[in-house]
Structure 1
């Protein structure tokens, strides 16, 4: 009888767990409701008994989704900031990445999680998510020369929330034109402060020429 390779088994389980989490996330985005384990199994192409290996109940499944998607979303925004060449460009990358979040499928998942997950389960991960985003934003503002990075970070977040209000209310992802309409006024307001280069239309572009501070 051939020996079972432990690494192969671990890789197989990791793929199945990923399939379960992705299926649950997709169903949350589509329905706005907590999916059943049977529905998740059907979407993932797994038997319900296989799903039970990774979640014993809907609450377990939702907690696993929260633990999976929040760090992933934070990492995506952090990665976008890390690729920007200057502090001002990093702040703008934060703005763009958050607009992409609020205008995309992720917002539907976040809205669904907020309505179906026990607040006690969601509270801790949400605080960690917020901290994971605020720390690099405030660091970029400090490097940009901002004397009050905490206050300005709050202003930037308030501007993003105001600009994405319509997008967050939609039951679908925003199309490219709608995203551009969100970003353009933010770019006009923040571009001069962040030292962003101007494109041919006169709007500040994401590529920064350097800090103005």
Structure 2
């Protein structure tokens, strides 16, 4: 999620996916501004400040951290959605990046649509787990409203990460067939635009749905209404918990 130090003075942050910062131990760093975008005069005042990232929402900064006067700053992610990957320190001026992967022999709960698409899945543990107090915008990175109560539990709290899930996950994943009209694996065939996840009740009211060879279809419950048909081709997997 963050590229540390590429083409930068030692110890600096390089391109960063966040732009909402708050001062912690330093002074002179304005709220909700990344030091990467401050002018030269303010950079000098910001030296040795510690500015935690308070909301992982938008892009800030370019390929350089700017002047060496900011090299002692140490932004700390506070509300992020990274998963997997090893711990440890990244060397100065490296091009190391955080990656999303499952450690060998282990499973992690799916969070993102894909390693290159940071939209949250309907079953992501990041849903409604952000901090309203740490946020200062009303829209997510895609321009959609924040504070959508996807879990319909308690008060409305923003999701962790750059994008807010816009659907209600208590509603079932209902087959519409509006995509290719056949494949379970096509997100456009489902009511909320997502292939069903393990936490979702699955309803097939009409049509013929095919689980293709090698595909692993999942759901919490499955209801195939009379007249509809579900076809699982050999080597496919259909995993329904209840």
Instruction: Tell me the TM-score normalised to structure 2 length.
Output: 0.28
Specify which structure has the higher proportion of helix: 1
Higher relative contact order, structure no. (Cα contacts within 8 Å, ≥ 6 residues apart)? 1
Specify which structure has the higher proportion of strand: 2
Instruction: Tell me the TM-score normalised to structure 1 length.
Output: 0.31
